[in-house]
A and B are shown apart, each in its own frame.
Chain A
Amino acid sequence: MATREIAGKQIEFDDEGYMTDHTQWTKEVAVVLAAEDGISELTERHFAVIDFMRKEFEANGTGPSIRKLTKQSGVPTKELYQLFPGGPAKKAARIAGITKPQGCI
């Protein structure tokens, strides 16, 4: 557990760098977290993924599988991997302020 100040807010993270309270998340926080993961600009398409992940998390307490994500968010697999290079599910979850995804698909 660690608390960091991001975009003027005190935000708590677990040991792997995922936010522990998704309600502390704001778009400004997302921009900072994305930059830390090498994504210099968050576009509308990034937010299509992030918003869907947050919606799923709020409904089910866990992030979606990549299959569900690509089928329902309108962002196809190829684009998803381009938007979040090097591990889309984990990266998108971290930037979306939700816990680390546990699924295998």
Chain B
Amino acid sequence: MSSQTPEPIKRVSIICSKGGLDEVLPSLIMANGARMEGIEASIFFTFFGLNALIKKTHDQLKIATVGNAALNLAMPMMGMPITMPMPTLLGAIPGVSKFASWMMKQEMEKLDIPPIGEFLEMFSDSGGHIYACKLAMDMFKLKKEDLVEQTEEVLTIGQFYERSAGASIIFT
């Protein structure tokens, strides 16, 4: 039995690979929370996660209301029981995803969670690093100019691992 205290976390590299509002926020909250604790932090946006960095889309991210089996969790926001399911067919009605996303943004504001654009700025200003994945950029025909100015670099996977030396890597 070792009596040594575990080493405190010094660096984290968070990979954000999905681009829904509810998928990008956890990455940002965890990364920003790391900075608040004095932990070095970076986020590597790849595949659909890149949606969070695109100037034209980053403040319009949505929650998927089709095929999302956990939407019952959002029911209390509308005063309904948490056990009430959200049928996928209802979720497919035009405007439902937009409404659910709007509702979530209201709740975010109450909890002082900033909108994505402001959150990226806050994280960057705190000394956090924002990277975009080169392969995903090529796939989606994106250029660095399409991304928010806080995007520090476009990296290959190899460069991402280099930048992550000594860090805990968290995939989301």
Minimum Cβ distance to chain B for residue A15 (Å): 15
Is there contact, CB below 8 Å, between A89 and B36? yes
A104-B35 contact in complex given A65-B112, A67-B122, A78-B125, C-beta closer than 8 Å: no
| Chain A proximity mask over B31-71: 1 for CB below 8 Å, otherwise 0 | 01101111000000000000000000000000000000000
Q: Is B127 an interface residue (CB 8 A)?
A: yes
Q: Is B117 an interface residue (CB 8 A)?
A: no
Minimum Cβ distance to chain B for residue A46 (Å): 17
Residue on B with the closest CB to A67? Answer: B112
Q: Is A77 an interface residue (CB 8 A)?
A: yes
Cβ contact of B112, chosen from A85, A86, A89, A105, cutoff 8 A: A105
Is there contact, CB below 8 Å, between A87 and B114? no
Contacts of A105 in B (CB 8 A): 29, 32-33, 111-114
Contacts of B168 in A (CB 8 A): none
Is there contact, CB below 8 Å, between B29 and A77? no
List B106-152 residues whose CB lies under 8 Å from chain A. Answer: 111-114, 121-122, 125-127
Contacts of A70 in B (CB 8 A): 122
For the complex, give the distance between the alpha carbons of A65 and B33 in Å. Answer: 11
Is there contact, CB below 8 Å, between B112 and A81? no
Contacts of B113 in A (CB 8 A): 105
Q: Is A17 an interface residue (CB 8 A)?
A: no
Residue on B with the closest CB to A66? Answer: B36
22 CB contacts below 8 A, A to B, read: A65-B112, A66-B32, A66-B36, A66-B122, A67-B112, A70-B122, A77-B121, A77-B122, A77-B126, A78-B125, A78-B126, A81-B35, A81-B125, A87-B36, A87-B37, A89-B36, A90-B37, A105-B32, A105-B33, A105-B111, A105-B112, A105-B114
Starting from the known contacts A70-B122, A81-B127, 15 additional A-B residue pairs (CB-CB under 8 Å) come to: A68-B112, A77-B121, A77-B122, A78-B125, A81-B125, A81-B126, A86-B38, A87-B36, A87-B37, A87-B38, A104-B29, A104-B33, A105-B32, A105-B33, A105-B114
Interface residues in chain A, defined as those with a beta carbon under 8 Å from any beta carbon in chain B = 65-68, 70, 76-78, 81, 85-90, 103-105
